[in-house]
Amino acid sequence: MPTTTWRKSSYCQEGEACVHISTDPDGVHLTDTDSDPARTVVTVTPAAFTTFLDLVKSL
């Protein structure tokens, strides 16, 4: 996967136990590097991620 820049969530607790995100034109990639030694990456479309963010902000 050609993701080169991972950004850590600003809502992170201490250490690296938090969500990391990377983007490219085709997708938004999410991982939790501290709790997942295999570094599983979930990829969604930009539209799906925008919908998710809108839903979370409305709560």
Q: Is the dihedral of CA 7, 19, 29, 59 positive or negative?
A: negative
What pLDDT was estimated at residue 48? Answer: 96
What pLDDT was estimated at residue 28? Answer: 94
- Helix, strand, coil shares of the chain, percent, nearest 5, are 20, 25, 55
Residue whose token pair is 């809502």: 11
Question: By three-state DSSP, how is residue 28 classified?
Answer: strand
> What pTM value is reported for the model?
0.72
**Looking at the DSSP assignment, which residues form a beta bridge with residue 43?**
29
What pLDDT was estimated at residue 39? Answer: 76
Q: How far apart are CA 46 and CA 29, in angstroms?
A: 10
One digit per residue, pLDDT tens: the chain, 59 residues? 554 688 888 877 766 678 888 998 889 999 886 666 667 889 999 999 999 999 999 98
